[in-house]
Chain A
Amino acid sequence: MVDVSGSTSSVHYSITARPNCSLSPAGTLCAFCIIAFVTLAVALAFTLLGAWPILPFAGLELLILWFCFRHIWRHAHDYERLTIDDHKVIVEKHDPTCDSHVELNGYWAAVVLEFMPDGDCRRLALRSHGKEIEFGRLLNSEEKLDLGRVLQSRLGSYPTT
């Protein structure tokens, strides 16, 4: 999912990319609780009847489910935002392990696009003063290309490696 505010030509331009999540964190919790409730109820009932080996299996299953759901839940709020404000370029990234905020000078920033041999755009980055910041992991090839074109028109050179 991509939100764009401001037009290509306006002074302020911002693009935010988020993963498509149709399940809210509350929904995730709810789904997990329903499955856990049923599984544990069954497991406990059989345990009381003497068939205790069901408990470790039910536990193992819920553990796998928990890790999967936690993965989704942790990444539900991920986003990447690129803002061009006058001559500043701000790249913000948010995910569970890191929160970064980098400001570049628009006059010096250059767009870097890397392609696969077959023409897929693999990577989009901004380079300035010898450092590169990747952007658009949540975008597909076409979106990266489109964004690259926009940035090129706003930021000057368009070198391709």
Chain B
Amino acid sequence: MATTTLHDAHHDAHPTGVMRWLTSTNHKDIGTLYLWFSFIMFLFAGGLAMLIRAELFQPGLQFFQPNLFNQFTTMHGLIMIFGAIMPAFVGFANWQIPMMIGAPDMAFPRLNNWSFWLLPAAASLLLMSFLMPGGAAAGGWTMYPPLFIQGGMSYDMTIFAIHIMGLSSIIGSINIITTILNMRTPGMTMMKMPIFVWTWLITAFLLLSAMPVLASAVTMLLTDRHFGTYFFNAAGGGDPVMFQHIFWFFGHPEVYIMILPAFGILSSIIPTFSRKPLFGYDSMVYATAAIALLSFLVWAHHMFTVGMPAASQLFFMYATMLIAIPTGVKVFNWTATMWRGSITFETPMLFAIAVVCLFTIGGFSGLVLAIVPVDIQLQDTYYVVAHFHYVLFSGAAMSIMAGVYYWLPKWTGHMYDERLGKIHFWLTTIAFNVTFFPMHFIGLAGMPRRIPDYALQFAEFNMLQSIGSFVLGASQLLFLYTVIKCIRGGATAGDRPWEGADSLEWTLTSPPPYHSFQTAPAFK
């Protein structure tokens, strides 16, 4: 690439210090900001999880009163979803999409800056709500009224935080959609885009469809709380169940918003380390689209116990079961990609394999939960907690870790410490399973979720889970250390540190120039 080498000859000019980050419109800087923000939020919300597990270490109330405990569970959920997982994927989108499609930057760099800087504002609202009289919101991340209408000032702060984060997501999605549609290098047709780009295109579409729904749901909560409306208040003719319909109409696409980019990351990593092209590219794209479409038809499977007619239960059950088919196609495709490859087991690949296995367990427990009569038994128990942590921790969060290890050499120009990466992988995977696998059992045995204290027959498993969770939490500090170590130095990574990698970002230097692909690169 003659242009890039020429370009490297002179230094990039951009503000330095704090102003660089505050005013940056560069997709790489903003990607970095997103990733660090999400990592800080991940550690904070993970800390809340540690406090939850400390209280649940034994039956009885040891450390926290129920009110504080409920604040922890609520904030753990909200911050992990809106502060950790989603921004992390947007961080990947910012870094990778322009480099993968051969674009110089995102389509709207200034909007990009705004969409990031809205997030710290929203996060500080959420964090400050802990200092309000009565503490943070304690009505669960699902914010069901009428309970959510009872709370104090911090509940309003939570609602505003969600508004701001929703606005950030909308701007971010528009940016991503226009970048992908309009800025692909000549020759890169839609069906030649890397799968990661495809999954983000569909994710951004889901975000645009779902976010106004969420915004309206929390707005109606707000007006019910303060302006005398009765959207959800039965006393005034409102309908508390309506909120659940609206919330989950947002909430179920939201689940896929958090997992589709993870599929994209896996579909980048697995072919690389199998040294083989991705099996079934087309069916991968169609499966992603099918999952996205179905996600709008299954929301009420979160509400099988609210008392809906048999016909509705059947419809939502069948639709939910159908999602198993495209999801299965993906797992089969990854397996076929590995089949007769030439596989090596660097840290990103280890994470990717673990994600495929553990996510599939989460998928199966999802299928079990789709079965209405079984769901009636398991709704709001620890089985559900196990299910969505298998999907969101070992699905989404571990994919993020896999992606970080995979692209760190490209981003920093240094190889990460492979030994530390592998230790982090094994600690995370084992501790994760120790923490969450027994939750299936206590859920089946009848332990409800969101309780600060529990009956004695659940004591052994809970203690085991707490021990596992402390190890899981501590091992993420090792992750932090490994990442910082890699940023500060390490073996030089070549332009293409993984021999099987073939998308456009690997044609750039490591680290890539501040302004990459100023002119569209050649694409075969």
A residues engaging B (CB < 8 A)? Answer: 1-2, 20-23, 27-28, 31, 35, 38-39, 42-43, 46, 49-51, 53-54, 57-58, 60-61, 64-65, 68-69, 71-72, 116-120, 140-143
Among the listed B108, B183, B211, B231, which residue makes an inter-chain contact with A20, where contact means beta carbons less than 8 Å apart? B183
User: At the interface, is chain A mostly helix, strand, loop or mixed?
Assistant: helix
Rounded to whole angstroms, the CA-CA distance of A54 and B220 in the bound complex is 9
Interface residues of B in 206-225 (CB under 8 A from A): 208-209, 211-213, 215-217, 219-220, 223
Q: How far is the CB of B13 from chain A (nearest CB, A)?
A: 5
Given A31-B181, A117-B13, A142-B3, A58:B186 Cβ within 8 A: no
Among the listed A1, A23, A51, A69, which residue makes an inter-chain contact with B186, where contact means beta carbons less than 8 Å apart? A1
Residues of A close to B239: CB separation below 8 A? 50
Contacting pair B185 A116 (CB below 8 A): no
Report if B518 contacts A (CB, 8 A): yes
A-B contact count (CB 8 A): 113
Among the listed A21, A50, A141, which residue makes an inter-chain contact with B231, where contact means beta carbons less than 8 Å apart? A50
Report if B188 contacts A (CB, 8 A): yes
Interface residues of B in 142-191 (CB under 8 A from A): 170-171, 174-175, 177-178, 181-186, 188
Q: Which residue of A lies closest to B102 (CB)?
A: A20
Q: Which residue of B lies closest to A122 (CB)?
A: B13
Contacting pair A38 B242 (CB below 8 A): no
Residues of A close to B188: CB separation below 8 A? 22
Q: Which residue of B lies closest to A58 (CB)?
A: B212
Contacting pair A72 B107 (CB below 8 A): yes
Residues of B close to A38: CB separation below 8 A? 209
Residues of B close to A119: CB separation below 8 A? 9-11
Contacting pair A65 B208 (CB below 8 A): yes
User: At the interface, is chain B mostly helix, strand, loop or mixed?
Assistant: helix
Q: Which residue of A lies closest to B220 (CB)?
A: A53
Among the listed B182, B211, B219, B519, which residue makes an inter-chain contact with A22, where contact means beta carbons less than 8 Å apart? B182
Rounded to whole angstroms, the CA-CA distance of A106 and B182 in the bound complex is 37
Q: Which residue of B lies closest to A2 (CB)?
A: B519
User: Which of B11, B209, B296 has most chain A Cβ within 10 Å?
Assistant: B209
Q: How far is the CB of A9 from chain B (nearest CB, A)?
A: 22
Rounded to whole angstroms, the CA-CA distance of A38 and B173 in the bound complex is 15
Contacting pair B249 A42 (CB below 8 A): yes
Q: For this complex, into which size category does the number of interface residues on chain B fall?
A: 35 or more
Among the listed A28, A54, A116, A118, which residue makes an inter-chain contact with B212, where contact means beta carbons less than 8 Å apart? A54
Given A68-B174, A72-B107: 19 more A-B contacts, CB < 8 Å = A1-B519, A20-B103, A20-B185, A22-B183, A31-B177, A31-B181, A35-B208, A39-B212, A42-B213, A46-B249, A51-B216, A51-B242, A54-B212, A57-B211, A61-B208, A65-B174, A68-B111, A120-B10, A143-B519
Rounded to whole angstroms, the CA-CA distance of A58 and B515 in the bound complex is 35
Contacting pair B186 A57 (CB below 8 A): no
Report if B235 contacts A (CB, 8 A): no
B residues engaging A (CB < 8 A)? Answer: 3, 6-7, 9-13, 103, 107-108, 111, 170-171, 174-175, 177-178, 181-186, 188, 205, 208-209, 211-213, 215-217, 219-220, 223, 231, 239, 242, 245-246, 249, 296, 515, 518-520
Residues of A close to B6: CB separation below 8 A? 142
Contacting pair B220 A51 (CB below 8 A): yes
User: Which of A28, A50, A54, A64 has most chain B Cβ within 10 Å?
Assistant: A54
Contacting pair B518 A140 (CB below 8 A): yes
Rounded to whole angstroms, the CA-CA distance of A21 and B180 in the bound complex is 10
Residues of A close to B7: CB separation below 8 A? 141-142
Residues of A close to B170: CB separation below 8 A? 61, 64
Q: Which residue of B lies closest to A65 (CB)?
A: B174
Q: How far is the CB of A135 from chain B (nearest CB, A)?
A: 17
Contacting pair B220 A39 (CB below 8 A): no
Contacting pair A69 B178 (CB below 8 A): yes
Residues of B close to A51: CB separation below 8 A? 216-217, 220, 231, 242, 246
Residues of A close to B208: CB separation below 8 A? 35, 39, 61, 65
Contacting pair B186 A20 (CB below 8 A): yes
Among the listed A50, A57, A69, which residue makes an inter-chain contact with B215, where contact means beta carbons less than 8 Å apart? A57
The 6 closest A-B pairs by CB, nearest first: A119-B10, A54-B216, A140-B518, A57-B212, A22-B184, A23-B182
Q: Which residue of A lies closest to B2 (CB)?
A: A142
Residues of B close to A69: CB separation below 8 A? 178
Residues of B close to A71: CB separation below 8 A? 108
Residues of B close to A68: CB separation below 8 A? 107-108, 111, 174-175, 178
Q: Which residue of A lies closest to B104 (CB)?
A: A140
Residues of B close to A58: CB separation below 8 A? 212
User: Which of B3, B6, B208, B220 has most chain A Cβ within 10 Å?
Assistant: B208
Residues of B close to A54: CB separation below 8 A? 212-213, 215-216, 246
Sample of 22 A–B contacts (CB below 8 Å):
A1-B519, A21-B182, A22-B181, A22-B184, A23-B181, A31-B181, A39-B208, A42-B213, A42-B296, A46-B246, A46-B249, A51-B242, A53-B220, A54-B212, A54-B215, A57-B219, A68-B107, A72-B107, A119-B9, A120-B10, A142-B518, A143-B519
Residues of A close to B185: CB separation below 8 A? 20, 22
Among the listed A20, A50, A118, which residue makes an inter-chain contact with B520, where contact means beta carbons less than 8 Å apart? A20
Contacting pair A72 B209 (CB below 8 A): no
